[in-house]
């Protein structure tokens, strides 16, 4: 999720353009992407192609520059047509913990095709979803219409996007890592607001050794990044499908 990335998906302040996981030329990247989609294409309503709460297609994307990255993602979503690359079901971690959360205004970071945003809207949240793929945003709106809910789809690059301070009661960041954006998440939450954050960890390299370590969370890193919040749920899971860190934290009231 996930650098000019609204699917920029993985970025770090220490390393420029971190969302470009493989720095090959655009032609090579498109071939890899099309091969990947051919293998892992999912039908509507199916779960994520690789891991319900772990690494997904975004970690295969290559771009020689930000505009190439945007075009690559538009191509992925366009090729899928009526199918959804990540499926239509929400991330399992979000679904498992939805009852912990008070209703209010929510932001879905790197929303993609809208599976999590639409789920939140169905639960009664007023939802904004940000992404830099126009194709993904169109599909997210279609999914919302299909489910008879409304979401506010925002076309923007998260490397430059500014969240208005103390705007949201919930921010969801799933399968996307832009370390420089975490302060935006914190500032954008109202006091007492919640963040749900989930992303693959370095242990996932055992499953996909071609990934760059800097794009994955280090062990214990996610907990450290939110040490100034009240951490309600934290776990790092490693299984035969992958490795992921999951967190729910609450912004202090004072």
What pLDDT, in 10s, does the model give residues 79-118? 877 789 889 999 999 999 999 999 999 999 999 999 999 9
What tokens does 37 get?
């989609």
Q: Which residue has the tokens 């970690």?
A: 59
pLDDT tops 80 at residue 199: yes
Interior/surface letters 46-70, b for 16+ CB within 10 angstroms, e for the rest: ebbbbbbbbbbbbbbbbbbebebbb
> Is 147 within 8 Å of 98 (Cβ atoms)?
no
pLDDT number for residue 7: 39
Give the global pTM. 0.74
pLDDT number for residue 51: 31
CB atoms within 10 A of CB 107: 28
pLDDT tops 90 at residue 131: yes
Cβ contacts of 136 within 8 Å, gap of 6 or more: 7, 73, 74, 77, 111, 112, 113, 114
**How do the domains of the chain map onto residue ranges?**
10-80, 92-250
What's the CA gap between 244 and 24, in Å, rounded? 26
Pick left, alpha or beta for residue 39 (phi over 0 → left; psi -120 to 50 → alpha; otherwise beta). alpha
Counting residues of the chain whose pLDDT is more than 90, the rounded percentage is 59
Span 43-66, pLDDT tens digits: 233 223 323 333 344 444 444 566
pLDDT number for residue 111: 96
The domain defined by 92-250 carries CATH number 3.40.50.150: yes
Helix (H) or strand (E) holding 142: helix 134-146
Region 211-219: mean pLDDT is: 86
Region 231-250: mean pLDDT is: 96
Extended strands (E) in the chain: 10-11, 105-109, 126-131, 152-155, 168-174, 177-178, 189-200, 230-239, 242-250
Distances (CA, A) of 124 to 117, 215, 241: 11, 33, 32
Q: Provide the mean pLDDT of the chain.
A: 79
CB atoms within 10 A of CB 155: 12
Counting residues of the chain whose pLDDT is more than 70, the rounded percentage is 74
pLDDT number for residue 63: 47
pLDDT tops 90 at residue 200: yes
Report which of 89, 19, 9, 10 is spatially closest to residue 48, judged by C-alpha positions.
89
Phi, psi angle pair for 160, to nearest 5°: -125, -5
pLDDT number for residue 21: 38
């Amino acid at each position: 999720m996930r650098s000019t990335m609204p699917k920029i998906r993985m970025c770090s302040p220490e390393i420029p353009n971190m969302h470009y996981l493989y720095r090959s030329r655009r032609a090579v990247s498109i071939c890899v992407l099309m091969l990947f989609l051919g293998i892992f294409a999912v039908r509507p309503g199916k779960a994520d192609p690789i891991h319900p709460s772990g690494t997904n297609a975004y970690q295969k994307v290559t771009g020689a520059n930000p505009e190439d990255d945007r075009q690559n993602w538009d191509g992925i979503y366009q090729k899928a047509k009526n199918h959804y690359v990540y499926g239509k079901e929400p991330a399992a971690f979000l679904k498992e913990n939805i009852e912990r959360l008070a209703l209010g205004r929510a932001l879905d970071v790197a929303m993609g095709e809208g599976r999590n945003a639409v789920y939140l809207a169905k639960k009664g949240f007023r939802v904004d979803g940000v992404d830099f793929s126009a194709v993904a945003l169109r599909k997210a709106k279609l999914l919302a219409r299909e489910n008879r809910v409304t979401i506010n789809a925002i076309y923007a690059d998260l490397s430059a996007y500014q969240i208005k301070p103390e705007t949201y009661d919930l921010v969801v960041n799933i399968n996307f890592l832009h370390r420089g954006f975490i302060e935006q998440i914190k500032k954008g939450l109202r006091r007492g607001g919640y963040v749900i954050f989930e992303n693959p960890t370095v242990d996932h390299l055992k499953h996909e050794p071609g990934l760059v370590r800097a794009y994955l969370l280090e062990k214990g890193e996610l907990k450290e990044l939110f040490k100034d919040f009240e951490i309600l749920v934290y776990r790092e899971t490693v299984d035969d499908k992958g490795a992921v860190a999951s967190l729910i934290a609450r912004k202090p009231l004072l």
